[in-house]
Each structure stands twice: as C-alpha cells, then as structure tokens.
C-alpha cells in the first residue's frame, strides 16, 4: 500500500472538521487540519444554514492543508447531515441559503402529504421513516406555500452535493444522501416518479444519482489557484455522515449492530436488501443507502441533542460547563429519578430544553430533575433505555439476535452513557473510533482510488489503527426492572 493522502470534509450540525487521512502499510493515521463552528441562523421565523460561510471554511481547510505541505492529495470527499438541500437557478446561482431541518415550515406537511398519497404507499416505495423534517415534506412546504417560484428552480442539490458542485461544477446526487430524502425508491435506487406525481413535486429538478465511491471530477482551477492545492479528484464518499460512520465500524462478528452517537443517535444494522413491511412501518424504521449497494436499516432517536440544548440554556444563564463536567455531575446524581422519551416532539427544538424535560415529567406524573446532574442523568438513562427498545425491535423484525453493539462517533467518548447502554441492552459494547465519519469517508475514497481492495479491508485497517474500549453489562436486574416500567413511554 502506498502512503496515499485523502482529505475528508465532515460537516456536522454543530461543527465541521477537515481531516487528513494517511494510509501507510497497515495503519490509517488521522490529522485534524481545521475545525470550525456551524451555526443555525434565525431570520424572522425561519432557520437557515450559512452555506457560503461553510464553503469558505472548506477552502480554508484546503489552504491549511497545502500550507502544511500536503498539496498533492489522492482525493477529497465531503459528508454532511441528511435531508437539507439548496436550489440552483439560472446561471447556476444559489437561490438563497438552505433551510435547516429544524425549521417550523414543515409543520402540518406530513398530514397534507397523506391527503395526496397514503402513508403506506410512500413507505412501500421508499422504506424511509416518517419525520416532519424529511426532504419530502420540506419540498412539499415550498410547493404548497409557493415561498420560492418553481419556475426559477433548475436543480435541487443536497448539502454535500452543493459542496461538490461548488468544487467541480457537476450537479449530481450521491446515493446515501439522496436516500434520506424519502423521495428515492429503496429497491431501484432512483427517484420515484409516483411520489413526485401524486404530491405535485417537480421531478425535473432532481439530479442524477451516483453511488458512493464515484469520482466526480477534478477540483476547479480557480479553487486550486485560490487555495494552493494541486488538481485533485473530488470523490463522493458515502456523503451522508452516518453512512460514512457505518463504513468505518470495525466489526468482526456477523450479528452486530451500530450506534452512531452524536447530536442524533442512529441505531441499526447493515443489510443487503431493504426491510419494508407492516412492522417496520409501524415502528418507523428507515432503509437508508450505504456503500456497496447495502442498506442501513435503522431508527433515529434524538440523541445528545437534549444535552446540547440543556447546556445552551445553562450557558445563556451564565453557567459555562463542559460536557465532561456535566457528565461527572450525572455520575453522582440520583439514578432513575425520571425517564423521558427522547423522540417526543416536545424535544425537537424547544426554546428551553430543561423546561421541556420538566413539562414531560409533569405530563407523565414523574418526579422532576432538580439539579443539572439529574437532568443529564435523566437524558443518559433515557437514551440507553431507548436504545434497548430499538434493538429489540430490530431483533424481532430480522429474526436474528444481535450479539454486539458498536458505538462510533463523538458520543462514543461518553463512558457513562456507554456503560448505561451496555447495562440496558445486556450486550457487549465496543466504543470507537471517535472519528468514524471521517474514517469512513477516507476508506471509501481509498477504495475508489484502489488504495484499498474492499470495505472489509478498510474496516480491518480501522481496527488495527485505533484503540477500542469494551463495556460489559452490569446491574442487569435493576436495568431490566426499570426498562419494563418505562417501556410504555417508548411504545409506538
């Protein structure tokens, strides 16, 4: 294996990173080149992403990479969160900043969609879970309210597709990110005409779908001139950040599940064909695209968003606490004082998360958390119990028993939550790597450039390159008792 260098641009809802990956013999080495905040911008009653700022940070990352002596790269790839998109108009002009998925304009759009096309029929085609933030409902809201004239829209591009377009001029949609839209046929892996027709959505604005590992084009000359980077291939990794994270799961057993832990928690398995049936619809499971034509059969839960919003509220009140400090408070707090359902709509984007948690406890006749440690412990215990609920549903639908749970992403650093998850699920939990998304991004690029022979080789390389921490279940009788008492909170 040559000492190839790949650059991963990993855009998250809170921050973005530019990470250099070097493949050298039997190891992958990562070096963080650039990190920057990502902000949701509120204007009047709507929330947007600042796409121009983010693209400028991408170029800053390229410039810093070159200044560090890495001007000659083997490839660069972008991954982001799902569902959000921007529009291109005449002359390839961007028609405003993309909306954020937490924007309120999608309220009521699911019900409006079901008046035009049944929920069962949409799910039959797409296999995607129903959330009001999905692209299908975002696009429907624009059509219904005519907030943007359809006559001026020439192409819809999802967030990573926009960055790829800015770098290359090519208008394409990568499969894993396109699958999050609830507009793609899960079996055919193409845009589903019936959905566009029945919901009166314009299919002509959708870009051609390409598979992960596709080489899009060389970076534009004006960008090489501005940043000092030599001409390099822009490669579509698994452009959805969770798809990239799953690509880097260092799994060795056959019956494994993953938990991509961050702002969102995504719990699921990797399968060869979509699982689309009455039970998967009832329990709101999703079939999103992965690499090598695989499907990520999973369910979203709200994740550490609850803690992030609590932290923000406390910070606005003048109390600056690190996540490590909050976790230490949780460790000392009263166990099982209250349990919440992380997916209750109350928690989607409340003005004050601690108040939302208190309201949920009042509604469900539970004691209230009184300290910051109790708020955090409530969140951690609730997440661990919700993970068990989701994994048991997966076992029942697949007919096989999961043997080990791999936790990847930033949340894998939270040792308290990891131990709670092992206790709740009764599974061995293997935590790491932290930078799974960037690693998966780099692995897919390396496969595209034939620096790696297969996904299995890439996963083996991850296992050899990073320290993984194992957690065995503890206090299972207590956790089983709490789970049985709490399961009604999670029931669909």
Closest CA to 300 of 272, 259, 340: 259
CATH code at 249-432+453-492: 3.30.420.40
SS (H, E, C) 58-85: HHHHHHHHHHCCCCCCCEEEEEECCCCE
pLDDT at 133: 93
Catalytic residues: 241
Cα distances (Å, whole numbers) of residue 149 to 87, 89, 154, 231: 11, 10, 11, 37
Which two structure tokens, joined as six digits, stand for 146?
């005519």
Q: pLDDT value at position 275?
A: 95
> How far is the C-alpha of 411 from the C-alpha of 307, rounded, in Å?
11
Q: What's the rounded Cα separation, in Å, for the pair 452 and 130?
A: 36
Number of H helices, E strands in the chain: 18, 19
Q: Extract the tokens encoding 326.
A: 């909050």
Q: Residue 199: what pLDDT? A: 97
- The CATH class for the domain spanning 4-240 reads alpha beta
Residue-level length of the chain: 492
| Per-residue confidence (pLDDT) for residue 1, from 0 to 100 | 45
DSSP result, 293-355? T-EEEEEEE-TTHHHHHHHHHHHHTT----HHHHHHHHHHSPTTS----TTSGGGSS-S-HHH
Q: Return phi, psi of residue 85, to 5°.
A: -155, 165
* CA–CA gap between residue 342 and residue 340 (Å, rounded): 6
Between the alpha carbon of residue 375 and those of residues 154, 308, 331, 482, the distances in Å are 47, 12, 11, 17
- Provide CB contacts within 8 A for 27, sequence distance 6+: 461, 464, 465
Running DSSP on this structure, what letter comes out for residue 94? B
Domain boundaries defined on the chain: 4-240, 249-432+453-492
Burial bucket for residue 111 (CB in 10 Å: 0-12, 13-18, 19+)? exposed
For the chain (492 residues), the mean pLDDT of every run of 10, in chain order, is 86 94 90 96 94 98 97 97 96 94 93 97 97 96 86 96 98 98 97 98 97 98 97 98 95 90 93 95 96 94 95 95 96 97 93 97 96 98 98 93 94 97 98 95 97 94 94 97 96 78
Look at residues 96, 108, 195, 107 and name the one whose alpha carbon lies nearest to residue 148.
Answer: 96
Same fold, 4-240 and 249-432+453-492: yes
With tokens 């963080």, the residue in question is 32
pLDDT computed for residue 2 by the predictor? 53
Q: How many CB atoms lie within 10 A of CB 273?
A: 12
């Amino acid at each position: 294996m040559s000492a190839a260098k790949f650059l991963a641009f990993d855009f998250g809802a809170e921050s973005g990173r530019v990470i250099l990956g070097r493949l050298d013999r039997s190891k992958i080495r990562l070096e963080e080149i650039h990190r920057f905040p990502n902000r949701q911008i509120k204007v009047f009653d709507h929330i947007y992403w600042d796409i121009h700022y983010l693209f400028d940070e991408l170029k800053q990352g390229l410039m810093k990479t070159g200044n560090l002596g890495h001007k000659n790269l083997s490839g660069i790839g972008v991954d982001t969160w799902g569902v959000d998109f921007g529009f291109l108009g005449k002359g390839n002009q961007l028609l405003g900043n993309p909306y954020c998925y937490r924007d309120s304009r999608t309220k009521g759009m699911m019900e409006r969609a079901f008046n035009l096309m049944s929920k069962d029929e949409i799910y039959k085609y797409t296999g995607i879970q129903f959330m009001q933030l999905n692209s299908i409902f975002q696009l429907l809201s624009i059509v219904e309210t005519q907030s943007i004239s359809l006559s001026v829209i020439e192409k819809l591009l999802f967030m990573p597709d926009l960055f790829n377009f800015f770098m290359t001029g090519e208008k394409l949609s990568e499969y894993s990110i396109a699958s999050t839209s609830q507009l793609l046929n899960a079996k055919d892996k193409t845009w589903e005409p019936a959905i566009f027709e029945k919901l009166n959505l314009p299919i002509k604005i959708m870009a051609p779908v390409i598979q992960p590992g596709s080489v899009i084009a060389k970076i534009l000359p004006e960008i090489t001139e501005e940043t000092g980077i030599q001409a390099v291939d822009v490669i579509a990794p698994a452009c959805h950040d969770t798809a990239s994270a799953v690509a880097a799961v260092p799994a060795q057993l056959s019956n494994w599940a993953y938990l991509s832990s961050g702002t969102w928690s995504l719990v699921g398995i990797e399968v060869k064909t979509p699982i689309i049936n009455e039970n998967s619809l009832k329990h709101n499971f999703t079939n999103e695209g992965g690499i090598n034509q695989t499907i990520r059969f999973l369910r979203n839960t709200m994740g550490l968003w609850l803690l992030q919003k609590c932290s923000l509220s406390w910070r606005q009140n003048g109390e600056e606490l690190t996540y490590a400090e909050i976790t230490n408070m949780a460790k000392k707090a009263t166990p099982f004082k209250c349990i919440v359902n992380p997916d209750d709509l109350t928690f989607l984007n409340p003005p004050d998360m601690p108040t939302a948690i208190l309201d949920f406890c009042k509604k469900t006749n539970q004691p209230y958390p009184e300290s910051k440690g109790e708020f955090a412990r409530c969140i951690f215990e609730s997440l661990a119990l919700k993970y068990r609920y989701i994994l048991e549903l997966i076992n029942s639908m697949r007919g096989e028993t999961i043997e080990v749970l791999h936790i990847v992403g930033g949340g894998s650093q939270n040792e308290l939550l990891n131990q709670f998850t092992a206790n709740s699920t009764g599974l061995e939990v293997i935590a790491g790597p932290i930078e799974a998304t960037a690693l998966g991004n780099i692995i897919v690029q390396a496969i595209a450039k034939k620096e790696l022979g297969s996904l299995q080789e890439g996963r083996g390389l991850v296992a050899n390159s990073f320290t993984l921490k194992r957690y065995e279940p503890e206090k299972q009788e207590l956790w089983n008792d709490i789970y049985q008492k709490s399961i009604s909170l999670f029931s669909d």
